[in-house]
Amino acid sequence: MSRAHDSGLRAAAPTAVRSPEEETRRLQALVDQAASFDLAAVAGSSSGGGTVRGPDGRGVGFATRLELRRFRIGLAPIAAGGPVRATNTASELVGHLELDWRMIPWSLFARPDREPEPTTFDPSCSQRFAMQRGTFFLGSEGDGFESFGAGRTFPHWVAGRPRLTAAAVGTFTRGFGRLEGLEGNFTLCGELNAERGFEGHVMVRIVDPENRLRTDQPLPPSPSAPDPSPDVTYLTWVARKGQGDAWENYWSYTPEGEPRGVNIPVELKRVEADLTASGPRGLTVRNLQTGAVVGKEIGFGREVARRTERNGGERMPFQFEGVSEYELYDAAGTAVGAITANFLEGRSIQMELPGAAGQPALRFGYFGVIVGGKGCFSGGQGMIYGTAGSVFAPPPGEHVITNLYVARLYDPERRFRAAVTGGGA
């Protein structure tokens, strides 16, 4: 999902005499001062589903305590003709998550300070929910954050049985311990059921200009834990702007000539994210390790609500949506498959980018549904979602972005799963 605006942004303010390329590189480095990592959220053996019941006794939400495990997604080299494969490795326990979700009506504007009216959970249809409280405890030193967010459920039918996918975007409301004063957001995607509540994957992005959490060094491996979702495969890549005119954004126009959104092409690159809770400093996040180009995204995006003085902050983020096609290549640069995803919910929050005051910086999260697949992704079902940071001015303005994607594919036949070598993460 490429971020797009249609109004309201200031032009980039030059801060020094630099070439455009130098300025872009500088902004990219500033955007990348963030700690991004993946977590597997697994129901503990004693947690139960944690169903919250309304006055009539019917389920209206979930209040659960989930184990958070280090989770690594390793995109394997793509062989000629595909398929695209990845290792998915859960390992050390890095914390836990106390989560309180409530189903909400479609029309409700969810807020952290307002408890929603009870809405009955119905796994047969898509519903919205508010994550009224989500407290992440990371490491053993009292680090973590409180959060608020909202999401949706999506009934799927996989290998002859129903599955209820849940995806949500959340933002920090308060950091504590070493995360005190830091801002960040997360996106989660997994499954919801009455017996176990939510289980799945959480990707977190913490803006970390003081380098409190990050390292460039490889993190020590830890013993693998049981596969939390053996019939699902997660793929990951990172989207950044390529060099040259071919990667410039441009407007999309209606037949009547009105701008309706922005066309955004980006390069997709191999990426590795990692963290540990057992480092000498406690919670330690490795800087994203970016590799070769593995594909290209072409996307259309737009904001779905007009910008006002009141939105764009944590309580009322900007809302965006879009459609993208992700084409992945083998080592020879030949396409092996493509995924089309509709990003139904995106939330972006304006931020002051340290070191680049006045730049139109954003941090954001989003999720989308896979609506089509080609090549090795033909018939694929699942979600694509992510977290990102950017500096974005409407075309022909500046666009710098690091957009970390995860594709969550239902994979009962493990077509997309690569074998783990080495036994740990």
Partner 1 sequence: MSARPGAVTADLPDVNARTNPFPVVQHHLDQAHWLSLYAVPVPGHPEAAWLTGDGRDYFGIDGGYGLDVASRLHGFDACLMPPRTGGPRVRQAVGKAMGELSGRFLFGPEDLAWTPGREPPIRMYDPWRSQAFAMVDVDVRCGDGNDGFRGYGVGRTWPVSAGGQPVVLAGGVGDVTEGRGKLRGLEGTFVLNGELHDLGFEGSVTCRMIDPEGRLAARGEPPGTTQAPGVSPRSTFVVMRGEKRGPDVRTEYGPPPGPGLVSLITPAQMRAVDLRTFAPAREGVCSRMETGQVVAELMANVSLDILAPPGTSERPNTFTTHNRYRFVAEGGLDGEIGEAGEIGEIEVEVPLGRSFGLRFPSLPSQPAMRYGGVGPVVVGRGRLAGAVGLIGVNSAIGVAPHALSMLNVLQIVDPDGRFRVGTRSRAHDA
Per CB under 8 A, which of residues 116..145 are in contact with partner 1? 124-126
Q: Which helix (H) or strand (E) holds 27?
A: helix 20-31
Our finding on whether 246 is near partner 1 (CB under 8 A) is no
**Nearest distance from residue 265's CB to partner 1, in Å?**
8
* Residue 375 contacts residue 80 (beta carbons within 8 Å): no
**Nearest distance from residue 152's CB to partner 1, in Å?**
8
Q: What is the C-alpha separation between 144 and 159, in angstroms, rounded?
A: 38
Q: What is the C-alpha separation between 324 and 370, in angstroms, rounded?
A: 10
CB burial string 312-346: b at 16+ within 10 A, e below: bebeebbebbbbbbbbbbbeeeeebbbbbbebbbb
Q: What is the C-alpha separation between 47 and 66, in angstroms, rounded?
A: 7
Our finding on whether 254 is near partner 1 (CB under 8 A) is yes
Binding track over 351-390 against partner 1, x by CB under 8 A: ------------------x-xx-x----------------
Our finding on whether 268 is near partner 1 (CB under 8 A) is no
Q: How far is CA 389 from CA 177, 353, 377, in A?
A: 23, 10, 27
Our finding on whether 300 is near partner 1 (CB under 8 A) is yes
Our finding on whether 231 is near partner 1 (CB under 8 A) is no
* Binding segment (CB under 8 A) for partner 1, from list 66-74, 79-87, 292-300, 387-395: 292-300
Our finding on whether 193 is near partner 1 (CB under 8 A) is no
Our finding on whether 173 is near partner 1 (CB under 8 A) is no
299 versus 365: smaller Cβ distance to partner 1 = 299
Our finding on whether 407 is near partner 1 (CB under 8 A) is no
Residues ≥6 apart with Cβ < 8 Å to 379: 373
Q: Which of 53, 58, 114, 260 binds partner 1 (CB under 8 A)?
A: 260
Residue 280: DSSP 8-state: T
**Nearest distance from residue 267's CB to partner 1, in Å?**
15
Q: What is the C-alpha separation between 185 and 120, in angstroms, rounded?
A: 28
280 versus 379: smaller Cβ distance to partner 1 = 379
Residues ≥6 apart with Cβ < 8 Å to 386: 1, 187, 203, 365, 366, 403, 404, 405, 406
The amino acid that residue 120 corresponds to is T
215 versus 319: smaller Cβ distance to partner 1 = 319
- CA angle centred on 327, ends 422 and 298, rounded to 5°: 130
Q: Which of 325, 397, 415, 420 binds partner 1 (CB under 8 A)?
A: 325
Q: Which of 116, 295, 299, 394 binds partner 1 (CB under 8 A)?
A: 299
Q: What is the C-alpha separation between 290 and 69, in angstroms, rounded?
A: 22
**Nearest distance from residue 340's CB to partner 1, in Å?**
5
137 versus 320: smaller Cβ distance to partner 1 = 320
* Binding segment (CB under 8 A) for partner 1, from list 5-13, 212-220, 221-229, 260-268: 260-268
Residues near partner 1, by CB under 8 A:
124-126, 152, 154-157, 161-162, 252-255, 260-261, 263-265, 298-300, 321-325, 340, 342-344, 369, 371-372, 374
